[in-house]
A and B are shown apart, each in its own frame.
Chain A
Amino acid sequence: MFDLHDRRAFLRAAIAAGAAWATTDVADVEAAFAWSSGQTAAGKRPVTTLTTAQADVVEAVTARILPAVDGRPGALEAGAIHFIDRALATFNSAQKTLYSDGVADLNRRATAASPGTASFAALSAAQQDDVLRQVERTPFFQAVWFDTIVGTFGLPTLGGNRDYAGWHMLGFEHQPSFQAPFGYYDAEIAKRG
């Protein structure tokens, strides 16, 4: 619903700004709404490609790559795992084995680090960081790293960045319209006249 809202906000602003197309392409606008809402519904699905146990591990990795700090949301809060799961089902299907092998490897390392622990997800954050430092140069970690960033900072229609959590983390506002002054330095000049 967030991108649907986003589209509507842009269109409203476009109409307010007098953009001629906004009143002439009504059918296209409605089609875009329908497409956008379908995309968003798809984004709310639970994991379908990874198993729940695998998803728990990958989600734990995303939470250590981009943890919530200073009261700001991180990759977990943004639901980056849902982007990863959807990507593995579609355009990133070539990395399914990389992911399942990588998860199995993390679980083995978790057991070695903490005998009796079967899942990386069950380790403490500090233990997880220790394990991740062992693998941070592997193709698996690099893949999760990249996908965590896209899943946290990409459009919510891709499956992650829930409630724009990733963008809130950065202080990035996605709005159809801003007015000057935009930042501290141009505001200073404007004040001085």
Chain B
Amino acid sequence: MVQTARPSARFRPADVVDFVIVGSGAAGGIMAKELSTAGFSVVVLEQGPRLTEAQFIHDEFGMLMRNQYVNDPSTQPHTFRATPQDRAAQALSLIYGRMVGGSNAHFTGNCWRLRPSDFNEASRLGGVPRSALADWPITYDDLEPYYTKVDWELGVSGEPGPFDAKRSKGYPMPPLPVKSSGVLMDKGAGALGLHSHPSPMAINSQPYNGRPPCQHCGFCLFFMCEFRAKSTSMAVMLPLAEATGRCEIRAGSYVARVEMGTDGKAAGVSYFDAQKRLQLQRARAVVLCANGAETPRLLLNSATSRFSSGLANSSGMVGKHLMFNTYFGVDAQFEHPLNEYKSVQNTRIVTDFYESDPKRGHYGGGAIDARFGRYPITFALQGLPPGSPTWGEGFARSLAQQYTRSMFFGCHGTSLPRETNSVAIDPDLKDAWGLPCMRVTYQDHPDDLKNARFLVDKALQIAQAAGALKAWPETVGPQAQSVHLLGTCRMGNDPRTSVIDKYHRAHDVKNLFICDGSSLVTSSRGQPTMTISALAFRAGEHIAGFAKRGEI
């Protein structure tokens, strides 16, 4: 790995840098690396703190219940309602990483590509009633080279699955060692004639580009990797960006508005620094990689007299089409210890149900992975089957018996885009910086829940075929919370129905670019990070080209 040999760049807000990037996660980190290595000066503004590996702590309580590394509802609350007819109330509905490295720093590592079919489902299926399902303006072939860039520049372990789309290059690393949950998935899926295969993971299975292989400590999900074995923006891209000497990562910078010049172009962004002083970072172009929640909020909060309904929002589509993905599953207990608390979250997936099949009677597809996902506190709170003792000797005995013998079959599914599912501005609520907060409106499309039930039913069959002593499905019902924040500034060729073009340029503002979960036109089958990362490589290349040709 290229370590920072010279001090990273430092700019003053008054300096007109080439690019200011808002956000440092999956997309922001790649964007910073692509633009700085292309020769441009870059400032990355990140609202969260900059942590080093030595500060990482495996504090399940802090992480899951005290919002240690995510957006903090006590200072930056938002409201939620299911439908426009409901009254919105404060809730923790949207969750994202709040630190240098973003959500990507503590993601699971799943690295699923889309398939060619994801890009043109609307025209192929003829649309889905009560949804805004649309085709992407790009194809799998357009994105494939950039998926390969993610594989090789970040580092992905895996081997091609039986239904994968064609790849221009193999995986750079073999799969991680199979866990007991994966062996049971192989057994259960195999008995049903399904195809269990190694999960593609952004985690090193062997030394890669100067970073060590996974040590199998078991703290990937919700935690950052002490060993830099997880291939993240934080571990790989941001150090490369800083090593150019042209990129500054400014932590503790809470962005308030994109500021417009009199020429109709973005002049920079205003932000509160760590001392809550308002600053203006000037730039020749602005790139928003602030995630599918904060990017639309920022655009809507950047309304001017000329852009009265929010910046880049002549289509009215900013904040619309929010998609969560569905995530439900099946808990299972086995006779012998699996010790799922060790190593990566999952080592096997079943993608037989990826494609939407009209014969099922609903739109949707997905995949099932073999995982655990429960650290000790979470397991004690909710890891035992319904009807188990909740306190006393029976409770203690069950926990002691089952912690090592339990696993979870996670079902990851599609969410249809709906115009009513949205991130908007709450009319009343302000955050600790005095900025208007988000109001989230979300109700799963009926097909999303039918698809989730379909997948859970398949997972239950797999668990039983694997020989589970006990297996019980989660109840599938309306989702009100997500860490997947997708679709809110969708890309498209038509400025009347989309926010950005296929090169991630805002239709309405020549030097404003948007690339993060908000860019996705469809929801993926439940693991969007790989696609967000590939889009960032692709967008970075095009944006650098525009800048070099004087087209921003």
A residues within 8 Å of B by Cβ?
Answer: 3, 6-7, 10-11, 13-14, 17-22, 24-25, 28-29, 31-32, 36, 64-70, 72, 74, 91, 129, 132, 136, 145-146, 149-150, 152-155, 157-158, 166-167, 169-186, 188-189
Contact = CB atoms under 8 A, between A and B. Distances in A.
Contact of B183 (A6, A36, A186): A186
Contacts of B1: 20
B275 interface: no
Contact of A169 (B54, B341, B396): B396
Nearest to A11: B54
B377 A136 contact: no
A160 to B, nearest CB: 10
A178 B214 CA distance: 9
Nearest to B335: A184
B191 to A, nearest CB: 15
A66 B212 contact: no
A49 to B, nearest CB: 18
Nearest to A83: B61
User: Which of A25, A136, A181 has the most chain B CB atoms closer than 10 A to its own CB?
Assistant: A181
Contacts of B379: 153, 170
Given A19-B226, A150-B61, A172-B376, A185 B215 contact: no
Contacts of A181: 177
Given A21-B52, A66-B399, A184-B180, 14 more contacts: A19-B212, A20-B210, A22-B53, A36-B57, A67-B396, A70-B397, A155-B60, A155-B62, A170-B400, A170-B403, A173-B342, A174-B58, A182-B216, A186-B182
B294 interface: no
Given A17-B213, A169-B399, A183 B180 contact: yes
19 contacts: A10-B226, A13-B215, A14-B227, A19-B211, A31-B54, A68-B396, A153-B377, A154-B59, A154-B61, A157-B57, A169-B396, A173-B341, A178-B217, A182-B338, A183-B336, A183-B338, A185-B336, A186-B182, A186-B183
Contact of A185 (B227, B338, B343): B338
B280 to A, nearest CB: 31
A72 B403 CA distance: 14
A115 to B, nearest CB: 25
A116 B336 CA distance: 49
Contacts of A72: 396, 400
Contact of A14 (B53, B184, B377, B395): B53
A91 B104 CA distance: 28
Given A21-B228, A24-B3, A184 B391 contact: no
Nearest to B212: A17
Interface in B38-86: 52-55, 57-62, 65-66
Instruction: Pick from A72, A153, A155 the residue with the most CB of B within 10 Å.
Output: A153
A185 B62 CA distance: 32
B356 interface: no
Interface of B: 1, 3, 52-55, 57-62, 65-66, 177-180, 182-184, 207, 210-213, 215-218, 226-229, 334, 336-343, 376-377, 379-381, 390-393, 395-397, 399-400, 403-404
A182 B226 contact: no
B399 A186 contact: no
Contact of B391 (A145, A175, A178): A145
Contact of B61 (A66, A158, A174, A175): A158
Contacts of A173: 341-342
B376 A180 contact: no
A155 B56 CA distance: 13
A29 B54 contact: yes
Contact of A136 (B57, B177, B228, B391): B391
Contacts of B212: 14, 17-19
A69 B396 contact: yes
B52 A25 contact: yes
A129 B389 CA distance: 13
A13 B229 CA distance: 13
Nearest to B57: A155
Contact of A176 (B213, B217, B337, B390): B217
Contacts of A176: 215, 217, 226
A9 to B, nearest CB: 10
Contacts of A32: 54-55
A183 B391 contact: no
A64 B65 CA distance: 24
B123 to A, nearest CB: 44
Q: Which 7 A-B pairs have the closest CB atoms?
A: A183-B180, A184-B336, A153-B376, A185-B180, A180-B177, A170-B403, A17-B212
Nearest to A169: B400
B381 A149 contact: yes
A186 B396 CA distance: 27
B54 A66 contact: no
A176 to B, nearest CB: 5
A170 B339 contact: no
B396 A17 contact: no
A182 B229 CA distance: 19
Contacts of B182: 186
Looking at A32, A66, A74, A186, the one whose CB has the most chain B CB atoms below 10 A away is A186
Contacts of B393: 67, 69
B338 A184 contact: yes
A153 B62 CA distance: 13
Of B3, B212, B336, B397, the most chain A CB neighbours within 10 A belong to B212
A173 B60 CA distance: 15
A185 B341 contact: no
Contacts of B341: 172-173
Contacts of B54: 7, 11, 21, 25, 28-29, 31-32
Contact of B340 (A69, A155, A183): A183
Contacts of A25: 52-54
